[in-house]
Amino acid sequence: MVELRYAGLPVIDGDGRLIGMITQYDLWAKGYTRIHWRASLGPLRGLGSETL
């Protein structure tokens, strides 16, 4: 997010529906400083919301 200058990213459910947004602040508040995306699974298959 930081490297690409995204302030937030959509959170979608298993059916592809938008259920919310996650921001840099949300991640920092949880103690995450770097997120490694599972890019090989496609653009909508990164870090799962259940992880956060």
**DSSP labels for the chain?**
-TTTT-SEEEEE-TTS-EEEEEEHHHHHHTT-S-----GGG-TT-SS-GGG-
Percent of the chain with pLDDT over 70: 54
With 60 as the cut, is the pLDDT of residue 7 above it?
yes
pLDDT tens track for 20-41? 998 888 887 888 766 555 555 4
Mean pLDDT for the chain? Answer: 73
Mark residue 31 as left, alpha or beta (left: phi above 0; alpha: psi -120 to 50; beta: remaining): left
